[in-house]
A = this chain, B = another copy of it.
Amino acid sequence: MTVQTALREYFEDLESPNEQSGTTHLLDDWHVTQTHWDLGTNRAWEGLLTQGNGYLHLRASFEEGLLDHPQNVEYERKMESVTVEVAAHQTTRQGVYIPAITGEHPAVRETVLNLPWFADIRISADGEQFDMAHSDVSEFSRTLDWRTGMLTRRVRWTTRSGAVIDLVWERFASQDNRHLFAQRLHTEVRRGHPRICWQSAISADVVTNGHRHFPAISTGASNDAIECTVITDKGDEVSMVSRVVCQTPQEASSTHFVTDTEAEIAWEAVLTEGQSGTLHKYTALTTSRDGTIDPSLSEDSLKRAYDAARDAADAGWDRLLAASAKRSSAAWEVGDRADQTSLVDVPHLRWATYHLLRCTPAFQGITQVCPKGFAGEAYYGRYFWDTEIFLFPFYLLTNPLAARGLLEYRYNTLDGARRNAREYNCRGAKYPWQSGTDGDEQCPLWEYADLELHVTADIAYALAQYVNKTNDIDFMWDRGVEILLETSRYWSDRVDWDSQGVPHLINVMGPDEYSPMTRDNAYTNRLVRFNLDQAIRWAGRMEREAPETWSELTERLGFRREELEGFAKISDRLPVPYDPERKLILQSADFEDYAVIDIDGIWQDRTKPFGFYATHETLYRSRCLKQADVVILLTLFPEEFDDEQVESAYEYYKPYTVHDSSLSPAAHVQVAQRLGKAEDIKEFVEKMIAVDFDLSRGGAADGMHIANCACIWQLADAETPS
């Protein structure tokens, strides 16, 4: 299957949501309420309503699943698509993620794991299993409260036996004890006297991107507890223990069912008109990697899960919720920008902020934020440049400790970056295009891994932002300067010198991923110069202000002072292609060697990406930008370019830019703001909102576009980092 065919299939699959019309949801300042449910948009809603607390994340799949859509189907996932990740087309995709828990996929390398499905709560009445697709359901609504993170679903169910039952599910991830997830199902009979069965399981019969990752699974049940421990294919242990309690008018007795992969507890009772029953499920999740957060958490994970689940059940719903809400409110205190003038309405701003807060890593320095915000498996939970360039301002301005954690992650994976550089016969450190646990390259496609170099310099940029804002000089001495020196060494080996003594970066993919092998990409070269300049500047300062640490560091790295002169030589001469006549920054020195194609003629339907119509072969040889490239550069160095230069670049690239990346509109808004282009601002803000929140285009089906969320947050008129 070619990329093109894959893309066509992907979008054909999305046709059904297009057909659906009418109001599907209501927004207010603190809530979104889904008022209409259908199969076509189900997966998008699962992403949009993802819950979590930085430690664990849960897609908003229904507790009971969808009967026709099993979650254990194995399939072969390859990374063939270059534009759009083509995952298996599933109507529902349950997802439980703990960012630090990853596995090895045979074809696509390291991936965050979809962990056992612990949120399972099923209900049947008179032998009929409740299912959103098959049952007679009315009065559906589902509300996510952004402040508390509570997700509430209500339906009225008319059973085939004639009973009418009101069901209310509630659930939240505790912001107080991050290992905890609490659930409740309230069942009230309005008519009839159905025999009701409640079942609740933890199931390890799950796959990640079609692949099984648990070589060992153990399950058990006793009294009101069910448990499941898995060993991942990377040797990590994940334990889950649920306390499940069912209150009914008559004492109902529970039954256990335990298989190799599942542990289940069930109750049965007859409820008559007006009677109700409530099931509470308190699940604790622990892992063998928890010690990386807090050394006291390195002991037996199953025991810790047992204790936590018991304590939660003892404390009860209201106290757990209150404790969680208190923490949640505190986070909103600093994260919220709803009181500021904004280009975006309060509900969408808050919705985006909700996901940013949810993604704040609990594993400080061990994990970052994956581009899908741990609301899907599409990018395998890996870390890209998104963090440093797009997400960083949010964390830096609201939670400097979290921002520091993002940089600590890069320091902790510096050895992997060194190995990457060695793979290319270079000294120093080359950060991977796609980073996992160790900083080794996880991207299996050479055109990105080999060519999209800028991530390394982007990290230097974020580092400078951090220190400028926080003045955390110790961080520079302990970690930052080492990053700067090692990355600069890599650049020194990566440049090629021409016969005139000018260094070049040949065969580079800039942010515009439709131009893979260009010469002297302006964005990359400018950032590389910045990286080298920072190395020189901070090395000098460290030598003066912390001479002992400096000596230690340079000795450890075998770093000679003369290397700084080499850095300066490159920084002075590395070209940022520019045409003075047009005052135009050229995306690359060879940009105008590429073909001009009839973008408007080819792009028949703009609700689909341009890459749906043009082949990669065409995109690669044309002046066609997947996303902002020079335009991002303008936002990173706003004072370096005058308005004429900014205008010239903005207008020149606009007709060539197809915004097939979710990162593109955000950069354009910023520049449009500077240039006062009201119409463009409106257009691009709409595009930004549409990225996740337009259900007709798939949106968040495979996860939130969290970098775009961070840019939405920046649309509120607060101080921006410079």
Contact = CB atoms under 8 A, between A and B. Distances in A.
A451 B616 CA distance: 11
B507 A620 contact: yes
A106 B593 contact: no
A620 B447 CA distance: 11
A72 interface: no
Contacts of A78: 107
Nearest to A453: B617
Interface string A1-30: 011110000000000000000000000000
Most B CB atoms within 10 A — which of A106, A425, A597? Answer: A425
A618 B506 contact: no
A519 interface: yes
Interface string A437-475: 000010000110011000000000000000000000000
A615 B519 contact: no
Given A506-B594, A506-B595, A595-B506, A425 B519 contact: no
Contacts of A4: 423
A307 interface: no
A593 B450 contact: no
Contact of A106 (B76, B441, B597): B76
Most B CB atoms within 10 A — which of A450, A506, A617? Answer: A617
Interface in A50-76: 76
Given A106-B76, A517-B516, A517-B517, A424 B593 contact: no
A644 interface: no
Contacts of A622: 496
A614 interface: yes
A147 interface: no
A450 B617 contact: yes
A620 B509 CA distance: 13
Nearest to A508: B621
Interface in A611-628: 614-618, 620-622
A590 interface: yes
A622 B495 CA distance: 11
B496 A615 contact: no
A616 B517 contact: no
A423 B8 CA distance: 12
Most B CB atoms within 10 A — which of A106, A446, A498, A620? Answer: A446
Interface string A501-536: 000101100000000110100000000000000000
A447 B620 CA distance: 11
A594 B498 CA distance: 9
A82 B445 CA distance: 12
B450 A595 contact: no
A621 B494 CA distance: 10
Contacts of A76: 106
Contacts of A593: 506, 519, 590
B450 A507 contact: no
B517 A618 contact: no
Contacts of A447: 447
A617 to B, nearest CB: 4
5 contacts: A424-B617, A425-B614, A496-B597, A504-B595, A517-B620
Report the 10 A-B pairs with minimum CB-CB distance, sorted nearest first.
Answer: A496-B595, A507-B621, A506-B621, A450-B617, A517-B517, A424-B615, A424-B617, A507-B620, A2-B423, A506-B595
